[in-house]
Structure 1
């Protein structure tokens, strides 16, 4: 482990374990409407033929497994990511396992809002409508503070703001679908996250773990607020959040040997993708719901209803963040039925 990684690792582990311990002691009502049945998996997905999905970050990890499962169920899947080479490799690998899979690649850099707008402008040429948007891509705890093409802290820009803008830009395509869904990935890290409204970009003092927790809490606040606004405005969008627990993905690859060694304790990415697939396809998945693994501390296991942190249930903070995000991104959601 590199010397400058040590403080980040200690803070992340201690904060995460503390928050998960609190969550483990929190009672949950069993059998709530919309809870997955025990053992839910890809064979339980309804046929997806005739439906179109866009998956950000679909070249690896949760995004790759989600894309593969959706394609296997008959959906047409657009994998949106930065690297065309990696996108084409992912598509070729999926087609090895799913002959005849309907897949295409579209270039997208969530750290560049111009790239987000460009994708939204050309996507109607590929799909007549969009049945599902999976806001999956992310970066995790870069040790040095970086900024996006638009000047925003990298984790805030990629994990949250780029997806906020993408959802706004693709809303017309989503509203043309019969029963559209937006699934936004959060994380266990949202439990120790806080929205630093005084310094959203961590320009005053950068803390990689705190910035990551903020970005994932922002994703969860966005998913819940999108559902509220969809219901109030009659948009017809079902917005759902998910998290993969502790799953083996490329997010851990850039960290030191200690963090990489912990990957052996994590569940496979295919298992971690199940909450996202449930949210994207299950008829009983609730708008405004939050799904994750149902094992100890929600770290691994079968799909279940996830605990919503108190900070994510703050409607006032969600509305404030929404207004700020529109101003920062230049993206606009409708205020009423158009």
Structure 2
């Protein structure tokens, strides 16, 4: 796997991809490479100006690229529903967008911001797009997690973290949720006999704007990998025929075996799924009775 590069990717002509958070960073690098290989790509992002600029950059880099912008605010479930209503096909859903280490805030629906954006928004989006994913042969859902999952703990009695909030603890919890969601999606898809797989990734420390480091930002960025390199795990997860679903792909494209007891617990993953469905109102009905 370590010899893999974007040149190894198959021709994606006829495939439709959605990349959340694709207005910059890893998301933009992912969208660019998918378009370069022929996919029809939707740049899903909250900021229309940045999203439009990303579309223009991709068109300059890949003349004739089939790429469009779609407004998506993962911290607003109404926005997630509006976005999903406009989608007519999706083969590859790359749940890449995320926020990290912010002060305690809430989404428009009243969820703690990092959990609501990084997990619940993507959970809802995936469920709303599920009928289209199931209609696409060989569909994939790629959830961008992080090794920060190991610092996460899900307290189902305090999902709002109102008893004590820590920015890193909240981020780790959201990344743990991404990983648990991936594994439970894979189990449910397998039980249903669906032609759909879920894969999680850890891109490694990458020079993006997700963490604001103030005056240290320029210095720290010098020791981080480029967004193009950070996107490799997502691209591999989205296109490699070697994957069967349920894998956790690391920054060197090696599979990670999660060490957290929570990740190994199917009971925790199932409970998180049911709680997420209750909070978002998105039920994944095509997989619910498998």
TM-score bracket relative to the smaller structure: over 0.9
2:158 is the alignment partner of 1:194: no
Alpha-carbon distance in 1 for matches of 2:159, 2:181: 15
- What pairs with 1:208-287 in structure 2 (closer than 5 Å)? 208-252=167-211, 254-258=212-216, 261-287=219-245
2:88 is the alignment partner of 1:137: no
Q: Counterpart in 2 of 1:306?
A: 256
Greater gyration radius:
1
Q: Counterpart in 2 of 1:321?
A: 272
Q: Counterpart in 2 of 1:22?
A: none
- 2:124 is paired with a residue of what secondary structure? helix
- 2:222 is paired with a residue of what secondary structure? helix
Alpha-carbon distance in 1 for matches of 2:107, 2:175: 17
- What pairs with 1:97-116 in structure 2 (closer than 5 Å)? 97-116=61-80
- 2:249 is paired with a residue of what secondary structure? strand
Cα deviation for residue 259 of structure 1 reads: 5.8
Structure 2: give runs of 5+ residues left out of the alignment.
Answer: none
Cα deviation for residue 198 of structure 1 reads: 2.1
Q: Counterpart in 2 of 1:158?
A: 117
Cα deviation for residue 234 of structure 1 reads: 2.1
Cα deviation for residue 116 of structure 1 reads: 0.7
Conserved 8 A contact 1:241-1:290: yes
Q: Deviations over 1:149-192 (max 9, x none)?
A: 00001100110000000000000010110110000010121122
Q: Counterpart in 2 of 1:170?
A: 129
Structure 1: give runs of 5+ residues left out of the alignment.
Answer: 1-35, 295-302
- 1:172 is paired with a residue of what secondary structure? helix
Alpha-carbon distance in 1 for matches of 2:155, 2:228: 33
2:23 is the alignment partner of 1:72: no
Q: Counterpart in 2 of 1:50?
A: 14
- 1:39 is paired with a residue of what secondary structure? coil
Counting matched residue pairs gives 287
- 1:305 is paired with a residue of what secondary structure? coil
Cα deviation for residue 257 of structure 1 reads: 3.0
Cα deviation for residue 307 of structure 1 reads: 3.0
Q: Counterpart in 2 of 1:18?
A: none
- 2:143 is paired with a residue of what secondary structure? strand
1:95 aligned to which of 50, 55, 59: 59
If the length of structure 1 is used for normalisation, what is the TM-score?
0.82
- Structure 1's consecutive aligned runs of 4 or more residues displaced over 2 angstroms after TM superposition are 254-263
Cα deviation for residue 148 of structure 1 reads: 0.3
Change (3 A) 1:322 1:260: farther
